[in-house]
Structure 1
Amino acid sequence: MFLESYCSVTGSQISFSRQQGSDFAKKIADDFNPLHDVDAKRFCVPGDLLFSVVLEKSGLSQNMGFTFSGMVTDGLKLDFPEKIVESACVTDDNAKEYMKIEASGECTTNSQSINALIRAYVEFSGHTFPHILVKLMFENSVMINPTRPMVMYENMFIHLDKLDFVDIQLQLTTPSLLIDGKRGKATLPFDLVANGEVIGHGKKHMLLSGLRDYEQATIDTLVSHYNDKKAQYLK
């Protein structure tokens, strides 16, 4: 299980250090969101890391939904479901819910299929900014607050026609951004492709807050800072 480096197991519970969360974001998801930096004031464990642990522990079902209901901080000990019968939750010792999972259809515990989907999905998800969101904001003449960019992972759903793949890719289809005042909801639909064949579909939703009028120069600065930070890390 390649996730062993990115979490700590204590008895039946799993926790994440800042370093583990940051390493997963940068090394696996290619995600340089400042919320996942080791020294971030409001550090948050990547939602994609929680998603990945669920698949490793509970298996991959044909139909799955993941809804995020709380930000996971470093050191928080969480209970992950061993098996999902229709629905399950990721909770802490106080029964606070951080993620709800829904599952149906056939289920596999084949590590090759699970690891292939994890790596393909988190890489796709990690590239949401700037690759996808900047274009959506430009098309809708809005942008996030550059001094406090708030983009939150809300939920994700996938459907797979079959589970016996050894490699898989995610291909973005037609993303959209629905605006309601200073808030926005980005919908990122995708196809799941194996050996050139579409074997499933999925959809990711993200919430954007603090929206304001689009300014190209400000966005250019934001993207440049993001890319510089990534280049510094890769050195």
Structure 2
Amino acid sequence: MFLDQYCTELDNNQFSFTRQQSSDFAKNVANDFNPLHDVDTKKFCVPGDLLFAKILSSEGLYPDMRVSFSGMVSDGVALSIADAGNGEKIICDQNDKEYLRIEHSGEQTNDADLIAKLVRAYVAFSGENFPHVLVPLMKEKNVMINVARPLVIYETMSVHLDTIDLKDPQIEASQSHLEVNGKRGNVTLGFIFRDAGKVVGEGKKTMVLANLREYDQSVIDSMVNEYNRRRIEHVA
């Protein structure tokens, strides 16, 4: 499974993520250059998309899934996948602290090749949310995150597939919007699934933007330029 290089298997069906594994996944698979996933950052956290990839790889793909994120995972934390009842699964640590919960229904597939293709397609789409989607949304509402201490919280992700008999699923962005309430913003990012050119499903991702302030184009430009510089530097 392609995820093996980004996850460390432990005893008793536990697993963990190192900083290097998390950073490599963010940059090489998700095209995500958020400094929170840098190996040497103080406020490091494992990418939420890596947690999603892990539980999907372990538990299988379902036509209807809803994932809720409830905590940031540090490197080296021993995690496990537990049954939460009602067919739900959670990723939690040894103190039963929950980080991710997945609800699912419908026919299941454990086709490793299909799951890897779908995970790669989804996390690549997810990694492009900044700056391509979030910046235009913030500009439209005349707000922006605090670039000195950006706080963007991955909240939920839901998927509906018309079928799981897929060959090479691809993801495209659809309608997205930002609702602002004071210094807090709620973002909904829509997307559709295509297979052989045909629309075969849809989904949405929700995030919370905290500590909003008035939009400043010059500050945003500097942030985007730095983000792109990091991306180009990594490729080079």
Q: TM-score range by the shorter chain?
A: over 0.9
Show the counterpart of 1:155.
156
Show the counterpart of 1:198.
199
Deviations 1:62-98 (A, max 9, x none): 1001100010000001002489962111111111101
Deviations 1:163-208 (A, max 9, x none): 1112111111110001111010110011111111111110000110
Residue-pair matches, total? 235
CA distance in 2, matches of 1:171, 1:28: 17
Give SS of 1:60's match: coil
Q: Which runs of 5+ in 2 are unaligned?
A: none
Asked if 2 retains the 8 angstrom alpha-carbon contact of 1:14 and 1:80, the reply is no
CA distance in 2, matches of 1:35, 1:114: 26
CA distance in 2, matches of 1:157, 1:77: 26
Q: Which runs of 5+ in 1 are unaligned?
A: none
Q: Which runs of 4+ in 1 moved over 2 A?
A: 81-86
Show the counterpart of 1:37.
38
Show the counterpart of 1:63.
64
Asked if 1 retains the 8 angstrom alpha-carbon contact of 2:83 and 2:90, the reply is no
Asked if 2 retains the 8 angstrom alpha-carbon contact of 1:58 and 1:82, the reply is no
TM-score normalised to structure 1 length: 0.97
Show the counterpart of 2:166.
165
Show the counterpart of 1:234.
235
Q: Which amino acid aligns with 1:166?
A: K
Show the counterpart of 2:8.
8
Q: 1:83 to 1:71 in 2, by over 3 A?
A: closer
Q: Which amino acid aligns with 2:135?
A: V
Q: Which amino acid aligns with 2:112?
A: S
CA distance in 1, matches of 2:175, 2:86: 32
CA distance in 2, matches of 1:84, 1:50: 20
RMSD of aligned alpha carbons = 1.3
Show the counterpart of 1:113.
114
